[in-house]
Amino acid sequence: MRQTGSLAVPRQAALYVALTAAFSLPLWIVLARHGLMYGGAAVVGLLMWCPGLAGMATAMITRGSLRGFGWRLPSARFAAAGYCIPVAYALAAYLFVWIAGLGAPDSLHYALVRHRAPIPGIVLTATLGVALDCAFAAGEEIGWRGFLVPLLASRYSAARAALVSGLIWSAWHYPLILFGDYNGGTPGWFSLGCFTAMVVGIAFIFAWARLASGSLWPCVLLHAAHNSWIQGVFTPLTADTGPTRWFIDEFGIMLPVTAGIAAYLVWQRWRLQGMALPAHASAAA
């Protein structure tokens, strides 16, 4: 079996998952009891840094080094892709919802939810909001894509690395979905299923960005733009017409569909290009 560091890849991955869960457990409990709003932004921010701290701890335990995380800055092309791709698949999902009458674009609803006028609010979210969200998203991405994806891709195919990392990434959110208020107001099984399908879908995009660029920073932009545009723009801009909650946000049907299409396009690109793990992105470098 190919190895990276002093432990084989599956053992490093298992240690990483165990440390992530251990670091996250106290914060899961706080947020499950008090909810995301009343649990506090500081607690949410600390939770988002648990995967990254666990990744760095695992790397130091098993390799004695933080090399291979993709610290270098990406090219402008990958930085632009990191920002634009989430906007594209989210916009496609919400346009379908609006056109089909499953939800209604409503500037007044946005103003009531976000407490600011729509155009200035959207501009602020698209710029400063994304920039600030990068500080939280970096915590997760240092773990999921800085450590885990290159580790898995050093032993398995890029597609398997994307799939496994997506399943772990989605499962990390389950305590908040099942026991907290991180859901779409639909039955737990429905929110859980839609969220899992969406996360696994976008995990292919994130893995492609990480492995093709050799940098984790496009993934940070992907994550920040995804959170800011969906939670800060499209969902507040959509008024409920009855079935809306079943179709929008991270817990509705449409984002898994558009994310799945995006994942398929990435998979096809991998097949055509014969995607291989760049030496500078490998955890074994």
Q: What whole-number percentage of the chain has pLDDT above 70? A: 92
| C-beta separation of 177 from 193 below 8 A | no
Give 35's pLDDT tier (boundaries 50, 70, 90): confident
HSE-up of 72 (CA within 13 Å, CB side)?
13
Give 36's pLDDT tier (boundaries 50, 70, 90): confident
Tokens encoding 222:
């992907």
3-state DSSP assignment of residue 84: helix
**Residue where the block lists tokens 């432990």:** 7
Give 81's pLDDT tier (boundaries 50, 70, 90): very high
3-state DSSP of 17-29: HHHHHHHHHHHHH
pLDDT of residue 274: 59
Length of the chain: 285
pLDDT of residue 265: 86
Reference 173, options 151, 142, 196; nearest CA is 196
In 10 A of CB 134, how many CB atoms?
18
Q: Give the pLDDT confidence of 213-253 residue by residue, as tens digits.
A: 999 999 999 999 999 999 999 999 999 999 999 999 999 99
Residue range 8-32: mean pLDDT, rounded: 95
- Return the domain boundaries, the chain: 3-281
pTM value is: 0.91
Q: How far apart are CA 165 and CA 94, in angstroms?
A: 26
Residue range 98-116: mean pLDDT, rounded: 93
Q: How far apart are CA 170 and CA 166, in angstroms?
A: 6
Residue range 268-274: mean pLDDT, rounded: 71
238 secondary structure, DSSP code: E
Q: Dihedral angle at the C-alpha atoms of 229, 217, 134, 155, nearest 10 degrees?
A: 90
Query: Which residues have C-beta within 8 Å of that of residue 279, sequence separation ≥ 6?
Result: 285
> Is it the case that residue 99 has pLDDT exceeding 50?
yes
pLDDT of residue 38: 67
pLDDT of residue 280: 41
pLDDT of residue 273: 66
pLDDT of residue 132: 95
Residue range 64-86: mean pLDDT, rounded: 95
pLDDT of residue 37: 67
3-state DSSP assignment of residue 172: helix
Q: What whole-number percentage of the chain has pLDDT above 90? A: 79
Reference 166, options 88, 92, 262; nearest CA is 262
Strand-strand pairing, 3-4 and 7-8? antiparallel
